Structure 1
Amino acid sequence: MVKTYKKVVLRRDREPKPRLAVEVLMTDDDYKEQRYLFLRGFAAVQQKDPEDPTSFYRIASIHGLPYEPYDGVTGTYNADDNPNDQYGGYCHHGDILFPTWHRPYVLLLEQCIYDEAKKLVEADTKKDGYANDPRYVKALEDLRFPYWDWASPSTLAHGLPAFFSQETVRVALNNELDKNNKPKKYQKIPNPLRAYTLPKNLGTMSLVGDRGNPTQRPYVPNPGNPYTPEGYATVRHPSEDYLSRVDKTSLSVIQQCSTVFRPNIYQVFLVDDWRKFSNHGWLEDPDHKLENQYGHFASIEAVHDSVHLAVGGDGGHIANSDVAAFDPIFFLHHCNVDRFVAIWQAIHPDVWIEENDQTIGTFTTSPGVSINAETNLTPFRKTENEFLNSNDVRDIKKLGYTYSILEKGYTCEELLKSMLDYYHPNRYLETHWQVQIRVKKHYLGYPFTIRVFFDHPKATSSTSTSSPNYAGSMYVFARGKNTQCENCKRNPDMVVNGSVDLTLSMQRLDLLSNNELEIEGNRITLVAVTQDGAGISLDEIGLVSADIYRVDTDKENAAKFNYKFVNHVEIPGISSPSRS
């Protein structure tokens, strides 16, 4: 007999409480009861029947594979016009709803963890519960999903926090205390932040004996999405033994934090247009009329893309869009993205979504159809028969949470200055240089990276990213051809935009003494690489253009800045677009 489940409705009836930085939740004993509830609740969600729509498996599958309808939500997808018999994902990427769609996605997991934690608070001590102890009742009221700030000074110094890699975590199993006021009954449980073990096969094995199958040794990831057999866990920067490489992951995060995360998030706060701020992509623009409008800015989605690669690496689940959400850190990453979106909203309170038809669509939204603030954010329900839209999720306090920075009483200008001071890539420099890159997202057919080198014309895929000439990289967070969603196939010319800050590399090369420096395009070398580091010819990746910009900021007025086009990057075989 097939078990049936109630439809999942997102509640909006809780008093707003701040979401904590995960470092605070995991290390500060002032929040130990909340920590125990979060870890045990998250572990319980991961252990639920994979057919249950409140299970981690079903929640993670909303984002991509295994391309199955979630909670009975079907859409415009036509199975009769789909030769590969695949479903598309529900997620919005490359359009104006990227920030607002992912907001209820994190909220869904937060609610499911809360519901499991509530059972623990109400259970008696004989069932390893907390017997409605006032400390745990209060902790439950305050329990919200934590964020990991991948652009913080702490991340810049230390990389990925150690607790993301620990195999087990210690939790109190009930509310009983010893004479020292410490919990009497502790237990180590599998760490729900480290990995998720798949209860079903995920993805498709290409061939029997395929090296991209984790059961084979040595394990060598395929360039596309990783295949994960039932019983195998998600990994980050996997080794030949299919084990996460902790040191390599942390080093990757530190490097990207300095070269990509901080320089780009700094600029995101300065954007005052939702379309430019919200996403990394738009449809192909044959006449290049949009070039100057996008200027030096990085979108919140473009920065977000780079975090996926930094944490996942070659073969890591989070580095591949179709399976990214199965790594638990995905949701802490997206909680931080939501935090940045909420801060941006507070800085620009009058800016919101305007109707736009530049969308590749989703499983429930046809490509090219106009989308706006009232477009349904499927599959997230506000009632059994209605879905949330962006207007419903605009005010995070109405969703039951906030972020501490938003509770300090700052004016818009004060908040902007605070954020620019905190995330400034180099406080001593008022002038920065950047390379803006435009590339067709689905042209190659699997994820790849464009590395940028300064004054290194002979740079190749084997050139170390520890070189002083290495400026940074742009990650193209694409689906593989064998798992592309329906709308990816319909829009092969979708273009994504990214930026790489040149300033740190120029500083290492002692090139910043001349403030009137003009950079010729031939001083920039672009190197395209697959996730395993193999080189790709630039004419194979769908590169549209690469341009150098200069950005001048004003110390006295954080919102005042000037930017100007400097030069085209010389790319063999690609003509430079006109800016007239």
Structure 2
Amino acid sequence: MSRFVVTGATGGAPNRLEINDFVKNDKFFSLYIQALQAVSSNNQVNIQSFFQLGGIHGLPYIPWDDATGDQAWDPSTQWGGYCTHGSVLFPTWHRPYVMLFEQIVQKNAEAIAATYRVDQAAWKQAASDLRQPYWDWAANAIPPDEVIALKQVSITGPNGNKITVDNPLYNYRFHPIDPSFPAPYNGWATTLRQPTSTRPNATDNVARLRLVLRAAQNDITSSTYSMLTRVHDWTAFSNHTVGDGGSSSNSLEAIHDAFDPIFFLHHCNVDRMLSLWSALNPGVWVSQGDSQDGSFTMPPEDPVDENTPLTPFWNAPNHFLGFRWYSRHR
């Protein structure tokens, strides 16, 4: 059976942009919004749909692209998502995850660029250069309105005219809500940020979100600086908590938040932190540890190291991606 192979985006290695700069680039933003709409509207059983990609992280605890462990998943003893929360694998596991998302978004963007009738060559080049933006919370913890406040955004459409479209960065609408979701998530038709309550009629509270993020800014900035300048051991770095951190393995937010479109902006920045920290600490890489609470493919407290397969990501039709491949990536 053929597997979906994670290659990352094609077309060289142009820089990823910080989200505040990204939204000012009309071609990138227009293509990204339309590509994200396409991925989000895919049938939720499609492994390239936003739902399936978000579901790799935690709920609904199902195989992605038939990636299973040597033993059947035991919900009574092990964490049910693929994410390696609390483990030394946490930073490197998210690298192919972000690459997978970036790869699928770019593929959709390239198809969309081919429909442009005005300045098509420039739009095709923009699609080739398109990379997942990152949210640099250490510099600015409050994302731009295009991410957290605007339910609709203005973009340039295929005819070269400005059009107003629903904003797929604002939330993700489930179609349908998965029956495995626990309360209160089983009552919410969309992802919510700072929900006003746990009832089914809850709404976003953007003003509250801004207050919370603004109040956390100094701590986030200082914690990030400390991580980059004072932490020189892989075990300590791999679970240094900034934002949601690597140690939140038992949080309900940790099992649901990957469906929020901001998740990949956040983890793209986590991947950036990995690159920065690695440059500051040459020769230091994944140390030995254990799988903590386990994952969908790993039993709890299993030994892990740089040779542990990064499930469910395939780098060939029948081989999972491993750390050594990623030590040479970017």
> TM (normalized to structure 1)?
0.52
1:8 alignment partner in structure 2? 4
Distance in 2 between residues matched to 1:377 and 1:307, nearest whole Å? 16
Query: For 1:335 and 1:205, how far apart are their aligned partners in 2?
Result: 26
Task: Tell me the residue number matched to 2:213.
Answer: 253
Residue aligning to 1:362: 295
User: What is the CA–CA distance in structure 2 between the aligned matches of 1:201 and 1:234, rounded to whole Å?
Assistant: 10
Residues 96/82 of structure 1: CA separation in 2 closer, same or farther (3 Å cut): closer
User: 1:345: which partner in 2?
Assistant: 278
What is the correspondence of 1:46-195 to structure 2 with a 5 Å cutoff? 46-78=40-72, 82=75, 88-123=80-115, 129-130=116-117, 133-152=120-139, 154-155=140-141, 159-164=142-147, 165-174=149-158, 176=159, 183=160, 185-195=161-171
1:268 to 200, 204, 227: 227
In structure 2, do the counterparts of structure 1 residues 34 and 130 end up closer, same or farther at CA, with 3 Å as the change threshold? Answer: farther
CA RMSD of aligned residues (A): 2.5
Contact preservation (8 Å) 2:19, 2:143 = no
Question: 1:389 deviation in Å?
Answer: 1.0
Alignment match, 2:310: 377
Amino acid at match of 1:137: K
* Correspondence for 1:278: 238
Give me the whole-angstrom Cα distance separating, in 1, the residues matched to 2:231 and 2:6.
Answer: 31
Determine which structure has the larger strand proportion and give its number. 1
User: Counterparts of 1:77 and 1:228 in 2: how far apart (Å)?
Assistant: 33
Candidates 20, 23, 38, aligned match of 2:20: 23
* Equivalenced residues, count: 322
- Displacement of 1:361 in angstroms is 2.1
Q: 1:104 to 1:228 in 2, by over 3 A?
A: farther
Determine the C-alpha separation between the residues in 2 that align with 1:17 and 1:278.
26
Gaps in structure 2 of 5+ consecutive residues: none
The answer for the alignment partner of 2:177 in structure 1 is 201
Which residue does the alignment assign to 2:321? 388
8 Å contact kept, 1:53–1:71: yes
Report which of the two structures shows the higher radius of gyration computed on alpha carbons.
Answer: 1
Alignment partners' CA distance in 1, 2:278 and 2:83 = 21
Listed one character per residue, the Cα deviations across residues 254-286 of structure 1 (whole Å, up to 9, x for unaligned) are 11112x21121111012111111111xxxxxxx
- The answer for the alignment partner of 1:233 in structure 2 is 190
CA shift in 2, pair 1:77/1:328, >3 Å: farther
Residues 1:377 and 1:82: Cα distance change in structure 2 (over 3 Å): closer
Deviations 1:424-471 (A, max 9, x none): xxxxxxxxxxxxxxxxxxxxxxxxxxxxxxxxxxxxxxxxxxxxxxxx
| SS at structure 1 position matched to 2:295 | coil
Matches of 2:322 and 2:103, distance apart in 1: 18
**CA distance in 2 between partners of 1:366 and 1:132 (Å):** 53
Separation in 1, partners of 2:18, 2:329 = 17
Who is 1:503 aligned against? none
Shift in CA distance, 119/205, structure 1 to aligned 2, threshold 3 Å: closer
Q: Is the 8 A contact 2:7 2:100 kept in 1?
A: no
* CA distance in 2 between partners of 1:370 and 1:381 (Å): 21
1:57–1:326 contact (8 Å) kept in structure 2: yes
* 2:203 equivalent in structure 1: 243
Which fold has the larger relative contact order, with Cα–Cα distance below 8 Å and residues 6 or more apart in sequence? 2
Partner of 1:305: 244
Does the C-alpha gap of structure 1 residues 367 and 199 become closer, same or farther in structure 2, counting only changes over 3 Å?
A: same
Structure 1 residues 305 and 53 mapped into 2: Cα distance closer, same or farther (>3 Å)?
Answer: same
Q: Which digits, 9 at most, give the CA deviation of each residue in 1:54-99, with x for residues without a partner? A: 10000011111111111111124536x5569x97111111111100
Residue 363 and residue 132 in structure 1: after superposition, are their counterparts in 2 closer, same or farther (change >3 A)?
farther
Q: Read off the aligned partner of 1:139 and give its amino acid letter.
A: A
More helix by share: 2
Whether contact under 8 Å (1:46, 1:57) holds in the other structure is: yes
Residue segments in structure 1 that go unaligned for 5+ positions in a row: 124-128, 177-182, 207-211, 214-225, 280-298, 310-317, 398-580
CA distance in 2, matches of 1:83, 1:137: 49
Distance 1:144 1:319, change over 3 A: farther
Q: Distance in 2 between matches of 1:276 and 1:205?
A: 32
Q: Deviations over 1:23-47 (max 9, x none)?
A: 10102xxx21111111111111001
Contact (CA 8 Å) 1:76, 1:363: kept in 2 or not?
Answer: no
Structure 1 pair 228/9, CA: closer, same or farther in 2 (3 Å)? farther
- The change in CA–CA distance for 1:237 and 1:380 in structure 2 (over 3 A counts) is same
Q: 1:203 to 1:148 in 2, by over 3 A?
A: farther
Deviation at 1:395? 3.2
Distance, in Å, in 1 between the alignment partners of 2:171 and 2:113 is 25
Amino acid in the other structure paired with 1:305: D
